[in-house]
Chain A
Amino acid sequence: MERETSAVPAYSRPLAGIDWHRWAALPVVLLIVAVAIVYTRLGKPSLAVFWVFGLAFGFVLQRSRFCFASAFRDLYLLQDGRVIKGIIIGLAVATIGFSLVMYKLQPDLAAGKLPGHANVYPLGPHTLLAGVLFGLGMVLGGGCATGTLYRIGEGYVASFVAFLGMLIGMFLLALQWGWWWPKVISIKPKVWLPHKLGWSGGILVTFIVLLLFYLLVLWWESRGGPKVSVVAEEPPLHSWKDRVRALGHTVFVKAWPATLGGLLLGTLNVFEYIYSQPWGVTTEMSRWAGWLVRLLGYPVEVLLYYGGKPAGYELLKNIPWYSGGALLDWGIIAGSLLAALLAREFKLRTPPNRARYAQALVGGILMGYGARLAMGCNIGSFFSAIPSLALNGWVFAVGLAIGSYFGVLAIKRLA
C-alpha cells in the first residue's frame, strides 16, 4: 500500500532550469568589490564609502519595495497606505537623528544661522509648484527619483526611459534657471522651524504632524475595507541548517515590510548626514544631464545653473564617476540589481502597451524639472528636508499629494 512520496517545503521549491539569477549575482558582487577597491587605491576612499551607502540604499529600497511614487498614489487609488506608513516612520527616525546632528553643528539659535548641509531651501510658490510637477511626474513615470533608479536595477526598461526623461527635464530647468533663481527663488526666505519655534518646539511640531498624518492614513485605509491578516503557512524548522536557510529566505527572498524599509532608510540617512550631508539623489543627476549636453557640443557652462556662482554647484566638476553623489546613485542601481538577483526578481521587463514608454518619458521630464526647481526630489526636498526641520519639506509634501492626485486621474484614463 505504501507509495513513494516526496516533499519540498514551499519556500525552496526548485523551478525547472538553471538558477541563473544566483550565478549572475556572483560577477555583480565581484564588480561591487572591485569598484570599492579601485576608488580606495586611487586615493579616494571617501568615494568608496559613498558607494557603500548607495549599495545599502539600493538594497533596502528593493527589498522593502519602497516606492515613494506609490505612497500617495496607492492611498487614492487603492486605499492602501503600506508605503506611506513606512515613509512616516523613516521621517520620524531621521528627525531624531538629524536634530542631534544639527544641534551639534549649530546649537546657538540666536546667531540666526543654519546648520551645515541641512536641507533648508528658499520657500516660495515655486516649492509647491515643484512638488505638484514632481508628484504628477512620479505617478505617470511609475516611480520617483529613487524608485526609477532601483527599478532600473530590477530590469524595468520603462524606468530607464523615465530616467532619460528626468535628465531632459533637469536640463530644461537648467536652461530656465537664469530666470527662476534671481527672480523667484533666491529672494525667498529659508524657513527653519527651530528659528521660529525653538529646538523642542520644532521637533515636537514635526512629530505631532507625523502622528496625525499616520492616524489619517489609518482612517483612509479603513474606508477601503477590512484588513484581513493572512497567516503565512510555513513548514516547521527543525535543524540549525533549516533555521539558517529560513533566515536567508527572510533577508534575501521575502519582501521586507515597508515599515522596516522606512526605519532602515531613515537610519541610513542619519548615518550619511553624520558622515557628510543628508541623502540626496538628483543634484548629481543634473550634473550628468549637463555633462551629456556638453558632450553634444552645447556650452552649458554659460548657463547660471552649471557655471554661475550663486547656485554654487560647480556642477561640471568631477563628473560623472568621480564624485560622492555619482557613486551613491550608481550604488543604488547596483545594490538593487544585487538584491533583485538574489531574490530571483530580476527580469528585463518591457511593457506590452508601447504607450507606457511615452508616459514614462513625460513623467520623467516632469520629475526632472520639478526636482531641480525645488532643489531636491522626493529625497532631498522631502525625505531629507522634513527631518531637517525645514518648512519647505512640508510644502513640497503637500505639492506631492496634489500632484499625485492629478497623476491618479491621468493613470486611470491611460489604463
Chain B
Amino acid sequence: MKLDVRGEICPYPMLMAVEAMKKLPEGEVLEVLTDHAPALESIPVQATRRGFEVKIEKIGDPEWRILIFKGEPRIAGGSGENVLASVGVAGLQALSPKEAWALVAEGATVVDVRHPAEYGALHVRDSISLIISSKKAVEAAAGLSPLKGPLIILAKHSGQIEKTVAAVKEAGQVSLLGYIEGGIEAWRMEGLPTAELKSLSIEELKARLDSGSEDFVLLDIRLPQEWELMRIPAAKFIPLSELEGRLNELDKDKAIATFCDLGFRSATAASVLARHGFTRLFNVIEGMTGWLKAGLPVVEGGNAT
C-alpha cells in the first residue's frame, strides 16, 4: 500500500499515515512518501505504538520513504512484491538459502547479526551470533576462529548488512561471500537446519543458582577487568577470547548459561559452544545490567580466577 503525502502541510502527513495504518491489511507493507521532516518523528511514534516496525530511507533532498510493516520483515529478495527489496544492500551478493547452505558445507560460516532475542528464537544451525551494532561485542569476538571467514551474513534488514560490511572492511583479510536473501524466514521455508538458543531471565537464573544444583554452570565471558570490577559469586569465568582454548574446562553434560553485561557477547559465546557440540545452553539476555537492576548481590574487586 502506497501513500504519497509530499507537499502536504502539517498535520496531514501524520494524520493520513495513521489513517492508512488503521486500514493496512495484515502482512502488507505501508509505504509513505513524504517531504515533511517532522513526520520522521511523529510517524514512527504512531507506528510503534500500534505494533508496527518502521524503516526510514532518504530518497531525495528532502524526501523520505517510510516503510511501516508488522512482524518479521523480509530483506532483499523474497517473494512477491517486496518493497524492502528496492533498498539495495552495499553492493553485496544476495545468496539464496540453498546457495548459502552449499557454501557452509565448503567451510563458510553464517554470521547472524540480529538481536540476541531474535537469534535465540530461531537461527541457522552452527551460525555465530554477533551483534554488529555493538562495538564492544564486535571487538570481543574479533579473534574467534569461525569469524576468520569466509562469512555469510544473516540479517534482519539492510542497515545491519551495511554495518557488517563496514566492520569486515575494518577488520580486513576476511572474505564476505554475501548475505542470505529473505533472512531467517526464507531459510526456514527451505527446510534447512535451524536451532534455538533458550534465554534465561534473571529470576530463573537466581532460582537455578539458589538450588545449588551441581548440574548448572553460570559462565561469565566478559573481559578480565570487568570480572575484577564486579562479579556474581557462583560464576565461572572464561573470557570470550580464551573460550575456544579452554573448552576442556567445561562439561558437555551440564547446563551452561552464558553471561555478559547485556546478552550480546554471551550470545556469541553460546553460539561458539554450540558449534563444539554443547547442547544444554542458555543465554542470560539481561546480563549483569539486569542482575544489578534486580538488586541482587555481587562480589566487587575480586581477583580473576
- A residues within 8 Å of B by Cβ? 1-10, 13, 15, 19-21, 65, 67, 69-70, 73-74, 77-78, 80, 82, 142-143, 154, 156, 158-159, 224-228, 230-231, 233-236, 238, 255, 343-347, 349-353, 356, 360, 411-412, 415
Contacts and interface: CB of A to CB of B under 8 A. Distances in A.
Name which of A5, A143, A233, A347 has the most chain B CB atoms within 10 A of its CB. Answer: A5
B91 A70 contact: no
21 contacts: A3-B93, A5-B165, A7-B169, A10-B159, A15-B58, A74-B14, A77-B14, A78-B14, A78-B15, A80-B42, A142-B10, A143-B9, A225-B49, A230-B48, A233-B160, A343-B62, A352-B8, A356-B9, A411-B11, A411-B12, A415-B16
A15 B60 contact: yes
A343 B138 CA distance: 31
B42 A74 contact: yes
B92 A5 contact: yes
Nearest to B38: A65
Contacts of B11: 70, 73-74, 77-78, 142, 411
Nearest to B108: A1
Given A3-B92, A236-B138, A344 B177 contact: no
Contacts of A231: 133
A69 to B, nearest CB: 7
Contact of A7 (B42, B61, B90): B90
Contact of B91 (A5, A226, A349): A5
Contacts of B9: 142-143, 156, 158-159, 349, 351, 356, 360
A7 B93 contact: no
Contacts of B167: 236
Contact of A82 (B42, B166, B169): B42
A2 B12 CA distance: 49
B10 A10 contact: no
Interface residues of B, number: 54
Name which of B44, B54, B176, B178 has the most chain A CB atoms within 10 A of its CB. Answer: B176
Listed from nearest, the 10 A-B pairs whose CB atoms lie closest are A225-B49, A228-B48, A142-B9, A7-B165, A7-B166, A345-B62, A236-B135, A65-B38, A344-B61, A2-B175
Nearest to A6: B91
B62 A4 contact: no
Given A143-B9, A347-B61, A350-B7, 13 more contacts: A4-B91, A5-B92, A7-B165, A8-B90, A15-B59, A73-B11, A225-B50, A226-B49, A236-B167, A255-B40, A360-B9, A411-B15, A415-B16
A126 B68 CA distance: 46
Q: Main secondary structure on chain A at its contact with chain B?
A: loop
A204 B9 CA distance: 39
Nearest to B170: A238
B37 interface: yes
B163 interface: yes
A3 B162 contact: no
B6 interface: yes
A347 B58 CA distance: 14
Contact of A78 (B42, B58, B150, B177): B42
